[in-house]
Amino acid sequence: MREVAAEAGVSIKTVSNVVNDYPHVRPEMRARVEQAILKLGYRVNVTARNLRQGRTGLIGLAVSEISLPYFAELADAVIRAGQEHGVDVLIEQTAAVRDREIEALTGARRQMTDGLIFSPLGLGSDEQDLLEVDYPLVLLGERIFDAPVDHVTMSNVVASRAATEHLISLGRRRIAVLGAHPWEQMDTAVLRVRGYREALDAAGIPFDPALIRSVKLWHRETGARLIDEMVSEGVGFDAVFALNDALSIGALRALYLHGMRVPEDVAIIGFDDVQDAAYTTPSLSTVSPGTAEIAETAVTMLMERIAGNGPTQPRYVEAAFQVIPRESTLGRLGPA
């Protein structure tokens, strides 16, 4: 910058002004400086600017695993939203393990970022004090904590009630749930099971605990395993509500291996509307949670907090959802 100033015959401050688009610079000066910048191939040193401004231009995104399609798609959306706001995104993987989530919340990386978007899965709902951090934070998921933190989520109860109602409207009565967390007091799984029960109650369908299958991690393989268990236990069911699409993809595979036809014998609906859900055989009915909207909202909120002009009160936003019926509940839809 000093060299540029010398080349242009102005002070270092003027160069800074030009680089930062400070309005009160004479066009002539500006032109001269820009010339010099071009000639010398000058580029501002971001690190120095950050040091001076106490900002890094980076925000963190902490999720369990980026290789899970839902989080990959979320990361994509967050990176795009960040771009709009002029920040880059540093992704951290927690594997949904409590200690690694705490590390994400308190570790050295928090110093490299101006704020964090965090999807907590391993933290207990009694550990809210961990969320009282001294940097801007936005949580993804239901307000399971009492901590005064911004939350962005979707209407889990209403959405899963709608998904269950879709199955009921098709005449299904024995609807299994995959991925429940009965050991949790409050989390996404709990809320989605609540929506399921509401739908059952409204339709006058008796609740059978044997149909509620629990597993902590919502992966393809655990979805398959839960189906295997039900089959070997001899639990009868004519529909499956998987609490996310990875579970439902695993379930689909297991049902096929057990010779059960989808949807003739068993209808199945998932949650998340990952891209793969449209390409399974049969294609997967699911709930679209408005991932892009969630990402944009979260980034916008975080940027407001970073700029220091958010409201005093923590905010709570629910993105719109949509039930997407496909072949796994409706049957063969014919050539695309």
Partner DNA sequence: TTGAAAGCGCTAACAC
Partner DNA sequence: GTGTTAGCGCTTTCAA
- Give the footprint of its own copies on this chain (CB under 8 A): 43, 45-48, 50-51, 56-58, 65-69, 72-73, 75-76, 79-80, 88-93, 108-109, 111-112, 220, 224, 228, 249-250, 252-254, 256-258, 275-276, 278-281, 283, 334-336
Beta bridge partners of 117: 61, 138
The span from the CA of 161 to the CA of 172, in Å, is 14
The span from the CA of 101 to the CA of 140, in Å, is 13
Binding to DNA by residue 53, rule CB under 7 A? yes
Shortest Å distance, C-beta 22 to DNA: 7
Binding to DNA by residue 134, rule CB under 7 A? no
Binding test (CB under 7 A) with DNA, winner from 24, 206, 312, 313: 24
Binding to DNA by residue 28, rule CB under 7 A? yes
Binding to DNA by residue 308, rule CB under 7 A? no
- Please state whether the peptide bond connecting residue 335 to the residue before it is cis, i.e. omega within 30 degrees of 0: no
79 contacts which partner out of its own copies, DNA, none, CB within 5 to 8 A by kind?
A: its own copies
Shortest Å distance, C-beta 55 to its own copies: 9
Binding to DNA by residue 13, rule CB under 7 A? yes
The span from the CA of 191 to the CA of 104, in Å, is 25
SS3 of 98, please? helix
Shortest Å distance, C-beta 85 to DNA: 18
- Using CB under 7 A as the binding rule, the residues of this chain from 92 to 131 that contact DNA are none
Binding to DNA by residue 35, rule CB under 7 A? no
Report the 3 state secondary structure along 18-84: HHCCCCCCCHHHHHHHHHHHHHHCCCCCHHHHHHHHCCCCEEEEEECCCCCHHHHHHHHHHHHHHHH
Closest of 249, 231, 123, 93 to residue 179, by C-alpha: 249
- Using CB under 7 A as the binding rule, the residues of this chain from 68 to 87 that contact DNA are none
Q: Which is nearer to its own copies, 198 or 276 (CB)?
A: 276
